[in-house]
Amino acid sequence: RHNSAPFDGQKEGVDLTGGYYDAGDYMKFTYPLSWTLTSISWGGLEWFEGYELSGQTQYLHDMVKWGTDWLIKAYSLETNDLYVQVGREDVDHNYWGGDLNIPLPRDAYKVGEKNHGTDVASSVVAAFASASILFREKFSDSTYSDDLLLRAKALYVFAETKAWKLYGASLPQVNSLYPSSNYQDKLVWAALWLYKATGEEIYFNKAINYYTQFFIPDSIIAINWSDQTCAIYFLLVQITKGNELSYKLQAEKYLDYMLNPSLVPKSPCSYTPGGLLWCNGISDTNSLNVPLNIAFVSLLYAPYATTTEKRSKYMEFAQSQIKYVLGENPMKMTYVVGINPKSPKNPHHAGAHGSTTNNMLLPIESTNILYGAVVGGPSKKDLYIDDRTKYNSTEVALDYNAPWQGLMAYQVIYYKTKIPEKSTPGDGGDNDNDNEQSDDEQNENKDGKSKIAESNVKSGGMITSRIGGIIGIAIGSLLLVLLGASLIWKRSMIVAWFKRDRKKRDIEFNIENNVTSRPSSFISHISRPNSVVVPISSVVVPISRSNSVAVPNSRPNSAISGSNSRPNSGAGVEKTLLFNGFENNLKYDSVSYLAVLSSSSPNTEFTIPGSL
């Protein structure tokens, strides 16, 4: 890897190198990044054992710290300036190439004392506070934890400063990219994480006061980067350790609503034919966002459920959504890049594609595998087209890859308890994993062998008996051969008689019924529908988009609160895209690109584990 975007922030006199590119392009956004880091830290705290069992703890540490290090750069303790965006939409979205030639200018935008952003500031507070708990409790790094907590407290003072204001009102540039729907939920969200990190009652009291003031109870809103209203319910349950029934009932009301849309009048949510949770107006873009976040909080809450039935129901729902993503869906494909022959081959991601001509269509297939990245997801009919120009379904982004990390950590723990321990690979060579048996299986085999040995000992004269048996079998076989020869001779005589008699009867039948031709084959009368699976190496798919390599086009905001809109990170052309068929002639690419999203910093190489 080489340096990428080494001049970010230089024009503004601040170092904004490093951090994460948000999705398929090269812009940086503080708002969704903050939710991403909070989600990953939350999952890391809850299911750290999964990271340990899979040997991923250092990756977790580096993944979170790479993001919080950048947030530290983006926020000034002295001035309360908070940089929220790097890159210009009109410039970035007209470029589709590698990360070494990102076009300039790379303007940076900030909120501060003169242009408030209550929502984005509160979101960063939650990221700082949740990460500080992770580094203190799981990595024993009190120094770094204290630094994050210091910044979280200071920034919350700024966030609470009135007049409260959406950051989009101060910076119109963000409204076509990552607009905010409200700041009320963020003030509660940030205060709760500060209380969880410090134990100071003042923050819990603030959170509850805002919680009541803003009428947050009874809200039913999708959980994502834009809105954490309903995530608050689950954090409250954890903070109170399940001892406050009202919070538990609120959490269950939300889950029961989301998981049982057919029982809710006029619910915008439903399940696709294949079983994926879908909410109209928000699932139209990046459909996996909603189910992954709901699965995440379902597993967080399940241990606190008021009944065992509810507990099982929440866990089963989460498993169904995880399994859908991993291949139990009508397309029979996994929506995680690089882990299966049927993984998406062409995610909407400029770095992975590797174009050198600013053309989203060339090369036809991505140069690099974006290993472990979750793509946007299928349509409401469970259909997915592996076409990188369809960013609504094929783009990868930080925010919905974040809950996937926690879900995979949970799965490692889950399968450890559900599947018997495997014996340690030893003398079996490269095939040990395929041939190894559980201890129970080995004991059964040993018991079986002991019983056979005991039987052999008790039946003395075994060799003599076997010899006698062999002689008997030989004599019997000879008699069968002689009998068979006799039957074959008799059969030939019978067949000859039937052929002669049948020929006579056929002639008589044809004369009587005037039959002169053979009827058409039964099979020829079967009308077959067009084949669903085309066994060819490629399929040509028309792409109806403007005839331009890069046309800036901001995505519409979702009509539903809890918008899932994100920047349009590229454009298509009115041509055709050639991509691999699913059944035959699959091409296998070597894993050569490990980062879920590009990182940028002078002389720095950094990778992210896309999944465990």
Question: What residues are labeled active site?
Answer: 386, 395
Chain centroid offset of residue 146 CA: 32
d(CA 283, CA 185): 21
d(CA 171, CA 98): 28
d(CA 110, CA 81): 6
Angle at 351 between CA 358 and CA 379, to 5 degrees: 95
- Is the CB of residue 221 less than 8 Å from the CB of residue 184? no
Residues 6+ apart with CB under 8 A from 487: none
Of 385, 345, 336, 339, the residue nearest 363 (C-alpha)? 345
Q: How far apart are the first and last CA of the chain?
A: 23
- Is the CB of residue 338 less than 8 Å from the CB of residue 376? no
Q: What is the sign of the dihedral through the CA atoms of 54, 58, 61 and 63?
A: negative
Of 312, 291, 290, the residue nearest 301 (C-alpha)? 312
d(CA 79, CA 160): 15
Phi-psi region of 183 (alpha: psi -120 to 50; beta: other; left: phi over 0): alpha
Based on the number of CB atoms within 10 Å of its own CB, is 17 exposed (0-12), middle (13-18) or buried (19 or more)? buried
DSSP-derived letter for residue 556 is: P
Torsion of CA 331, 335, 339, 344, to 10 degrees: 80
Based on the number of CB atoms within 10 Å of its own CB, is 502 exposed (0-12), middle (13-18) or buried (19 or more)? exposed
| DSSP per-residue string spanning 153-205 | HHHHHHHHSSSP--HHHH-GGGTTTS--S-SHHHHHHHHHHHHHHH--HHHHH
Residue 599, amino acid? S
